[in-house]
Amino acid sequence: MGDQELPVVLVSGFEGPLSICEDHVGYLQKHFNLITMQEFLENKAQFSQTIQAVYIWAGQPAINQELLQSLPSLKIIANGGVGLDHLDLKLIDRFGVKVANTPEAVSNPTADMGMALLLASARRLVEGHELACSPNTKVISINWMGKEVTGATLGIVGMGTIGYKIAQRAKAFKMKILYHNRNRRGVVEEKAVGATYCEHLDDLLAQSDFVMLSVSLTPQTQNLIGKRELKLMKPTGTLINIGRGLLVDQEALVEALQSGTIEAAALDVTYPEPLPRDHPLLKLKNVILTLHIGSATHQARHQMMENMVESILASLSGLPIPNEVLLK
């Protein structure tokens, strides 16, 4: 329990892997009286009428109809990150509750992560590290090679804020940039990064040496990349996913990697996260896996927290909400 004069905000908890960041608690408590889900569940009668905001970190606390019905004073749900596939926006809207996220805070580090995965896969950095550290390594074959990124073709699927920042980084590597997006970017924006629009995803897949997924997960984009799409890619192609695991049919991806349909994959996201310890993706040498860490920098996470605080305070003061998510 904190200062009773401050707005009451529901959070997941202060301990455990899905709790709010320990370093952020002090800052948050300057602005809010934080109530954990455990405290709320143990005393709904006391807190139901007073909670005005929910602070979602690592997808927690989960928002469902039962929770929304038990929070009649709720005005806003602030979500850390840009992805909203874990939220039923139509359900939330029916309760008259606003939603805000933090797209700007995560765009640069996630774009950095995309390029890091691209480079690591192309130059086989993980394999090289393992070879360098192995007690069995005596000589490195001169024929052990990766492939160059400079001059290669990068196909970006999803040219939103993150996708565009990836294009800016790829331009510095003198890559040929193709992109597929629901809406075409303006001519000036295209020229600034040297990007060419592909109206059809199939055309991008067939021409790209590296395919980067940076698109939101929606019912329309789930399994966007399946067996058919993987067969359209070059056999020397690499698939990189920094969006959501469900954008890719993972069974089809495993088959494509095992059969040589594509050469490699680099994935910051999977489904589920983490993968079961016996999942075949964990055993493939031509795969790099990380644990959804695109925004996992101290700077980005602190900015996310500050943006969420700003949105909550604006909502409770009746002011325009920064980064409000509008129902389409």
Distance of CA 230 to the CA centre of its chain: 22
Q: How crowded is the C-beta side of 61, counted as CA atoms within 13 Å?
A: 24
Catalytic residue chosen out of the listed positions 130, 148, 189, 273: 273
State how far the Cα of 185 lies from the Cα of 195, in Å rounded to an integer.
9
Cis peptide before 135 (omega within 30 of 0): no
Here the tokens at position 53 are 């905001």
Active site residue 184: no
Catalytic residue chosen out of the listed positions 24, 180, 244, 301: 244
Residue 179 CB: number of other CB atoms within 10 A? Answer: 25
User: What is the secondary structure of 260-306 as a DSSP string?
Assistant: TSSSEEEES--SSSSPPTT-GGGG-TTEEE--S-TT-SHHHHHHHHH
**Sequence-ordered list of residues with C-beta below 8 angstroms from that of 96, at least 6 positions apart, any chain:** none
State how far the Cα of 198 lies from the Cα of 182, in Å rounded to an integer.
10
Catalytic residue chosen out of the listed positions 24, 292, 301, 310: 292
Active site residue 292: yes
Here the tokens at position 302 are 């602190």
Q: In whole angstroms, how far apart are CA 65 and each of 38, 89, 218, 227?
A: 18, 11, 20, 36
User: What is the secondary structure of 221-255 as a DSSP string?
Assistant: TTT-B-HHHHHHS-TT-EEEE-S-GGGB-HHHHHH
Radius of gyration, alpha carbons of the chain: 22
Environment class of 58 (CB within 10 Å of its CB; exposed 0-12, middle 13-18, buried 19+):
middle
Active site residue 169: no
Please report which residue ranges of the chain form alpha helices under DSSP H. 25-31, 37-42, 44-47, 65-69, 89-94, 103-122, 125-133, 161-172, 187-193, 201-207, 227-232, 250-259, 298-316
Residues taking part in catalysis: 244, 273, 292
